[in-house]
Structure 1
């Protein structure tokens, strides 16, 4: 197989099995592994039930550390770090493989997405509209290889759906993510990767459902204002200070979309 999913399992998520089942229902099969830094009977039972290799991260835990650890456990050319609360639609892997194989030097693949709230799919809201508008330039394949275009997009925020991202291991640095971020670990990674030569491949078809719920890490970060601090760090990579202050205030309004 050319592609693997690595599920980063944390504590006892009631949505973990739904995520696993969505990976098993892919039209093209992938290797599936699971990693955790919070080993418990629930996670072990899920892995055993679905015949998935479970690898325990006995080093430092944390969202970034777990993602980097999971990434290192994969030996296939392509990998997707599956988020335990989210759902992957059946054509995700098939589409990823087709896009990677037709690209000369792919870096990452990512897709549009829906939100999943209280068991219902939300196909459109203010946040989704804004992200789709930001990604309009990448609807044209001509711009997949443009470092200028993707850096301009990222200078206004991160419209890339992290759970949907597939990585080409041979063309990327390792580790992908930097320890120190709790909210913008993905935005930081995209900013770093945006400087590389190669393709950011965007599929405008929604192939992932990202779950929004009150116990999510994103909701916790917003509650303690940590996200605004990290937004300032990221905007500073693109803009002078006086513009950064304006963007941070504007960007903070979008955080309301993650509240239940």
Structure 2
């Protein structure tokens, strides 16, 4: 039986990155397997970004959304997604670049693993710093992460340009209305949002995305973080507001009986790491209020850990 064609959309978000934008768009256009559509969202740039974009709008699969008011990265994600029609949405910051084989490799990944909802990949840093960043040397099935995100706030993903997500997952949390909270660092919304609505996440070990390091990388620049000493505190409260919105939107409540729900979620990871066990142990210990179920849950978790260790399924890398 012939497999249904997967339609792909690439969302390029841009604000005052005219000097890099052409290279980003070219990298999306010059894929070995073509994107069905490329949508460039310009967040009311004040440089010559619109002139750069105009050079590409004659290409059949390129669309542009030129916003009249600067509202930040989350707003660009919202509007880009609403304009997109792809089954899988790929995100690209205007200062980053795809290697030519990126889309083909990612699509093959999705086709081989039909249960995959979300991929983040390894990447190469270019510009001021040149190195390869790999969370692991091999591809990984990371399972589901609703509980560990909800209770521990875990961030299971990577930079914006390494992310791709199935449309059926994104529509459960985008558009998000509180755009002022996420003028920057809106990849948090994609990563946390996908986990909370039940995305099965995978890591792709091939570094086919190039992440550009330059003076305007605000969250790569330590000086910026030093200036805003309250950043993580503010992010914590913004995260709570985001979680509440997504939970209400999806009529979702806090899971009960963490002794079982935590273990069941852990079992969706085929080769769990020690840190995965520690994460769920922490959740049961801190958030299961019934002493009996707290002890039972920790015992069940320890028993499962021993079974994985004895059978060689525990990932010790």
Same fold (TM over 0.5): yes
Task: Give the shorter-chain TM-score range.
Answer: 0.7 to 0.9
**For residues 75-106 of structure 1, what are the alpha-carbon distances to aligned partners after superposition, in whole Å with 9 as ceiling and x for unaligned?**
11111121000011111111221122233343
Pairs within 5 Å for 1:88-167:
88-118=98-128, 121-123=130-132, 128=133, 132=135, 139-141=139-141, 144-147=142-145, 151=149, 155=153, 157=155, 159-167=157-165
- Equivalent residue number for residue 52 of structure 2: 46
The counterpart of 1:29, out of the listed 5, 30, 34, is: 34
Aligned length: 229
**For residues 220-250 of structure 1, what are the alpha-carbon distances to aligned partners after superposition, in whole Å with 9 as ceiling and x for unaligned?**
852433532245448988989xx9xxxxxxx
Q: Is the 8 A contact 2:122 2:205 kept in 1?
A: yes
Pairs within 5 Å for 1:206-217:
206-217=207-218
- Structure 1 residue ranges (4+ consecutive) displaced by more than 6 angstroms after TM superposition: 234-240
Consecutive unaligned residues of structure 1, counting only runs of 5 or more, are 244-260
Larger RCO, structure (CA 8 Å, separation 6 or more): 1
SS in 2 for 1:106: coil
Output the TM-score relative to the length of structure 1: 0.72
SS in 1 for 2:209: strand
Output the TM-score relative to the length of structure 2: 0.61
The alpha-carbon distance between structure 1 residues 35 and 146, as it changes in their structure 2 partners (threshold 3 A), is closer
d(CA) in 2 for partners of 1:11, 1:181: 17
Higher alpha-carbon deviation: 40-49 or 59-68? 40-49
Aligned CA RMSD, in angstroms, stands at 3.5
- Equivalent residue number for residue 175 of structure 1: 174
- Equivalent residue number for residue 196 of structure 1: 197
Q: Is the 8 A contact 1:139 1:203 kept in 2?
A: yes
d(CA) in 2 for partners of 1:54, 1:10: 13
SS in 2 for 1:71: helix
Bigger radius of gyration = 2
**For residues 172-201 of structure 1, what are the alpha-carbon distances to aligned partners after superposition, in whole Å with 9 as ceiling and x for unaligned?**
314165531345432343223213334212
